[in-house]
Every structure is written in C-alpha cells, then in structure tokens.
Amino acid sequence: MKHTISVLLQNKPGVLSRVTGLFSGRGFNIESLSVAQTLEPDVSCLTLVTSGEDTIIEQITKQLHKLIDVIKVTDMCEHDNVEREMALIRVKAEAHTRAEVLRIVDIFRGKVIDVGPKSYVVEITGKASKLQAVIDILRPIGIQEIVRSGTTAMTRAQKS
Amino acid sequence: MKLTGAQAFLKCLEEHGIEIIFGYPGGALIDVYDELMKNDKIHHVLTRHEQAAVHAADAFGRIKGSVGVALVTSGPGATNAVTGIASAYLDSIPLVVFTGQVPTKLIGNDAFQEVDIVGITRPITKHNYLVKDADQLIPIIREAFHLAKTGRPGPVLVDLPKDVLATRITYPELKPISMRTYKPTYEPHPGQIEKACQAMLKAKKPVIYAGGGVILSDSNVELTELARKLNIPVTMTLMGLGGFPGSDLLSMGMLGMHGTYYANMAVANCDLLIAVGARFDDRVTGRVDAFAPHAEIIHIDIDPSSISKNVRVDIPIVADCKHALLAINSWFGRSKEFNVDECVEKNRPWHEQVREWKNKHPLGYVEETDIIKPQFVIQKLNELTGGDAIITTEVGQHQMWTAQFYHFNKPRQFATSGGLGVMGYGFPAAIGAQMAAPDKVVIDIAGDGSIQMNIQELATCRQEKLPVKVAILNNGYLGMVRQWQELFYNKQYSSTVMEVVPDFVKVAEAYGAVGLRATKPSEVEPVIKEALKINNTVFMDFVIAREEGVYPMVPAGKATTEMLLV
C-alpha cells in the first residue's frame, strides 16, 4: 500500500542524503520526494511517497526517527490529510487545437503560464489522479514534455 | 585565552576523561600530533594500521565501560578505519573516531589524501560530523561523545579539516547538552512492565534470551536477579556472553547457529521468550517462522527500530535494559500474586525437560591422544586462567569454540566482532583490552588465517610493552568456510587451504616477542602455563586437528531445531 510520509528535519548539509541513503541501504523504495524549508529557517519538511507492507512502513518510520537530524515523522495515512502535486506540461498548441487546450486547462482549473507560437506550458495542481486525468486528455493533442513535482501533504484541521 | 583547534581538541578529550587514544598520524593531523607531544595527560598508542586503532579503541571501551577514541588521518587513514567503524556500529559499541581532513577550502577538489569520509561512513555510524567552522569544533565533539554513549550506543565520526585545527578559538564553557531531535527513552512504560510481569507469572516454560544490550547497560546483576528469582533458564547471544554467569546452573550457553542443542530446543519449545537487549539476528533465529513458534515474546530494547524488525513481538518494552529489569524486579518484589515456591514448582517440569536435553546432547567433541583438539585448548585456557581472563577473538571456528567452551562469568570480559564478523579484530582488540585492564590476563584466541589480518600489531604490543597472549588455533585452513564447503559444497576447498602459513614462533621472535608451539595434546598445558608466566607478548601456536568442525550447527536458512550434531 502507498504511504505518504512527512518528515521534519534539521536544515543542515547532508541531511537529505541521510534520508535517501537510509532508503537505498535498507532496500526501501521512494516513489516521489519533495523537500523545502518550513516557517522555521533551520527546519525543512520532506514529503515522500513509498509503498510496502505494514511491517516495512513501520520499519521505515522507526528508522527515520532514529536519524539524529530528524525531528518528527508522520505517516499521513494515519491522519485525515490533503495532498497536492504539481505538473508542468508542454502541450502542442497549433491553430486548430489552441482553443481546445485552453478549454481543458480551464475545466481542470489549471493555468497557461507560457505561450509559444506552437505550444503552451500548462500548470496543473491536484492529487496524482487528477494530474493523470489531465495528462490522459491532453495526450492525443500532443504532449511534448512533462515535469512533475513530488507529493506534498498536510493534515486537515481537526474537527472539534 | 585563545587556543588553536588542535589544542582545544585535546583539551576537550581531557574534559571527557580520555587518557588513552589509539591512532596513526598523517599530514592532515600534524597539528594535533604536535600538541600531543606536549601533552602529558593523554597517552597515544601508535598502532601499525588504522583499522587496528579503531578495533583497539572499540575493545578499550567495551572492557572499561567507557567511550573509546581513535584518531586517524585523512584519505587512506580514514578509509582504513572504515572496517573498524562498521564493526563497532553493528555491535553498538560507544566510540568516537576523529579523522583528519584536507583544509576546508580544498574540500571537494579531489585534493591529496581527500575522501568524503562523512559520506562514506554515513550508513555505519550513529551520526557523523564535518567541522566546517572552528567555533563549532568543541560543541560538536561534546555532542559526539554524548551520542556515542547514550541511547543505543554506537560509533560517531568527527571529520577535522586541517585549517580548523590551526584556527585560534575561544574554548567554550561546558553546558549541558540539549539536542532537540535526540531523546532516547530510558524509562519503561509501566503498563508494558505490568503486562510483561503478568506474562512471566503465567508462563510454564519461560526462557530468557539475553544480548549485548545487557552488557552495554551494565544490567547483568538485575538480569541475574530476575532469572534466579523466577527460576528461568537463560541463553545468551555471542554479544551477550558474560551478561549472565556462564557456569550458573540456569545458563544454557549460547543459542543460534552454533548454539547449544539445549538452548535451541528450549527456545523452540518455550511458551514465553524474554528478549533482553538482543536483536533477533539471523544467526540467532535461523528460519524466522520457526523461531520460538509457541512463545509469547517480550522484547526489551532501547532502540524502537529493533522491535518487531525480524520477529513479531507481543510485549515490546522500549527502555534501557537496566531500568526495565529494575522495574520488573521491583514489580515482583511487591506483587502479592508472586510466590517463589509456586514459581519454582510451576517451572519444575520445564527444568526437567531442559536438563534432559542437556544430558542428551551436551557440548562436546571426540577426544584424541595424538592430535590437539581446538576445543581442548580452549577448555585448558579456561581452566588455567580460572575463567577470569579477558578474551578477544577473531572471526571463524575459533570464535565459536571460544563462545562454547570458555565460561564467561562476568560482563566486559569478552570482546568479539559479532555483527560484522571481522577477521583481524581480536589482536588489536586485545591491545585495547590490555590498555583498559593492565593487571588482567588478556588472550586473543585466533585462527591461523585471521591472525594474519592484523599481525603487524605485534609491533604495537612491543612498543607498549603489553603482555598480550595470542592462542593461534592453527589448522592451515580458513576453517569456517572450509566447514561449509565440506558440508554444503562437496568438499571443494576453494581458496580455503592456506598453502603458505608463516612460522608464527619466528614471526613473534622477529618482533622481540615470544613464540611457543604445541603439536601434541600433552604440550598444551605446559605451553599455556609458560605463556602465562612470561611478561611479554606471546604467540602460542597450537597445531590442531585440521578438519575439526564446529558443532552443533544449524545450516543457514534452517530452523534452529534442525541441528547437525557431533
């Protein structure tokens, strides 16, 4: 089963390689990963998506905890959470398809962020499934390039 | 007053009570070695290889119960230390290794004798540091010592660029260490203690399985109290030997691949397994699904990631072994449900069963009159040292025979590379052990293969005037691998025949040490007695039965009940 794990880390050189080294060294798998600073400049948040049986996930979270630079590990699957991914898609946009692309982008609440004579760059955010849906629909029109971010996630506000 | 980084470094070692360090100089560390010459509080032991320096520091820490310190130069000095660091990591030994590094400006330039040792040792250290800023030098060293000895202990590496060692700094005041991200759990959860004690009350066929954590946490007294109070038989891992008296009637010796028949049978049939500071290593469990299949399992360990890693545990207790055992003993002290006589009575059939297994297949070997059996040598060493020597070993058959036939009654009496299994560990470890306990008899039990992996340390022994004794069980083979080849590879002794073996007596003599040799069983005792009398390093070359095997043996991947017996 897929798990999104959120890790708060000390923002120090080499910390990312401690995390990735742990995964490669112990044979765990990383499907996606994103890292950036948090509100505190000396703390980073790393979100990674991995998959495995419960025992593997348990080991992953314990081993992450064991790293000296790790502050907090949260398995997002244990919480109600929101997850987002972003994709930049360069799609063919010639005279007869430009309007169609714009319509699709609009339906998925995406944005065209770069306009070229024969292509657009489209920005889409959402869950992985939504991104996949956009890609599937744009594919027949002609996708030239895709860049996707890793997943980021946050727990929802508690309903009191 | 400002100090150079090198001066501050030594001052910080003194602050941590370090009097002996093991190392090897080099270009990147010249500043430190220059200061060492002027320092009369810290004694530096010059080993003849950096790997040996780390093993010696490792064993020094194990025997003394403190943190060992090794100091090696950049590049090859650092890479030579890697095996030693990995060994300490797998055995959870507190150790701080300082490596020299090229000046900060050159880092990343492929400078002379530069390696990214922090990158290299990331997976084999508890934590590691590159000191980039001289002002961080002392806070980092303090953190390194703190990390090495607290929680689950382990090696910590600190990389020291040459310019940092030359920079003048103000020596910072000593402040209590507080690390936001590091707070090991020492105290057990009372609810889990209650559950564990209730399980112990109910159990009719309990077994204690004690590991190296018992020794690291100095909880042998508490463990012994629990075992005797509840009348529970005890088996130990290789790392746990000495955590419970080996000659006690409740001791079943070591378990696992070369464990005793009765220990393995007891674990396979017990209804409650109490694992204390052990980690369910594959050499202990054999086929995992057949390990303690009928047992409820209690697991005490300070490292949460050890729990349910290999074997599902029913009652986990994340705590320091000592704290957990104290809590358990105190529970039984005040429990109204607990009655000693009832407990003895309830376990009686179980003890009878264990005794029956013991009588059926005790540890043993076929004695011969004209050829020395290795087990006989170890029995004689045990007898003639009163079981009181500090023993180190290399890795292989001799290591397993030592674990089987030397009775370790006290903790911190035995140093062996258990997890990584390093040939070449024992001799430098004996140096560290002898430095830690100058008045004790220290014996490295070795094979003719493994002694050659760090034989150059004869020079260190001589330079430090150490009366270390080395008992070489010489069969002209890499015996453990040969045994596997005999049993599972159609006796194809591929590269395990040592066609050239040096004359160990002459090697010893070449270094100014003493060499003795025994080729007949009748010569074993006189050789050991003479060696023990000599106040010098002694190599005892025991020419043993060439194809003697270590038994019992659980073939890899089999259940621990599927033992090959003598």
**Residues from B in contact with A at Cβ < 8 Å:** 118-119, 122-123, 126-127, 130, 147, 179-182, 303-305, 307-309
B2 pairs with which residues across the strands? B170
Is the model's pTM score more than 0.80? yes
**B308: chain A residues, CB-CB within 8 Å:** 55, 58
Q: Residue A157 contacts by C-beta under 8 Å, 6 or more apart in sequence?
A: none
Domain B190-360 - what CATH class?
Answer: alpha beta
Provide the pLDDT confidence category of residue B343 given band limits of 50, 70 and 90.
Answer: confident
What's the pLDDT at B336?
A: 87
**CB atoms B127 and A62 under 8 Å:** no
pLDDT in tens, B304-336: 999 999 999 999 999 999 999 999 999 999 988
Q: Where, residue-wise, is CATH 3.40.50.970 in chain B? A: 2-170, 374-543
Distance CA B366, CA B378 (A): 14
The CA angle B507-B509-B511, to the nearest 5 degrees, is 80
Tell me which residues of B are annotated as active site: 50, 112-113, 162, 480
* Chain A nearest CA to B304, separation (Å): 7
Whole-number Å distance between alpha carbons of B297 and A95:
71
DSSP secondary-structure letter at B289?
G
Domain boundaries B2-170, corresponding CATH code: 3.40.50.970
Catalogue all structural domains in chain A, each as residue range(s) with its CATH number.
2-78 (3.30.70.260), 82-155 (3.30.70.1150)
C-alpha B97/C-alpha B158 separation (Å) is 6
Instruction: State the DSSP code for A114.
Output: E
What is the largest distance, in Å, between two alpha-carbon atoms of chain B? Answer: 72
Q: What pLDDT was estimated at residue A1? A: 86
In angstroms, the separation between the Cα of residue B393 and the nearest Cα of chain A is 29
Q: Across all residues in chain B, what is the average pLDDT? A: 97
The pLDDT-based confidence of A160 (bands split at 50, 70, 90) is: low
C-alpha distance from B317 to closest chain A C-alpha (Å): 15
For A58, the closest of B118, B119, B308 (CB atoms) is: B308
Range B156-185 average pLDDT: 95
Mean local confidence (pLDDT), B434-461 = 98
Q: What is the pLDDT of residue B246?
A: 95
Intervals of CATH 3.40.50.1220 along chain B: 190-360
Fold category of B374-543 in CATH: Rossmann fold (3.40.50)
Three-state DSSP at B424 gives coil
User: What is the rounded distance in angstroms from the CA atom of residue B99 to the CA atom of residue B122?
Assistant: 14
Which residues does A contribute to its contact with B (CB < 8 Å)?
10, 13-14, 17-18, 21-22, 25, 55, 58-59, 62-63, 65-66, 68-71
Residue type present at position B188: P
pLDDT in tens, B361-418: 999 999 999 999 999 999 999 999 999 999 999 999 999 999 999 999 999 999 999 9
Query: How far, CA to CA in Å, does A119 sit from each of A104, A106, B137?
Result: 14, 16, 55
Q: Give the E-state strand segments of B302-388 in sequence order.
A: 315-318
The number of beta carbons lying within 10 Å of the beta carbon of residue A137 is 14
Q: Cβ of A71 and B180 within 8 Å? A: yes
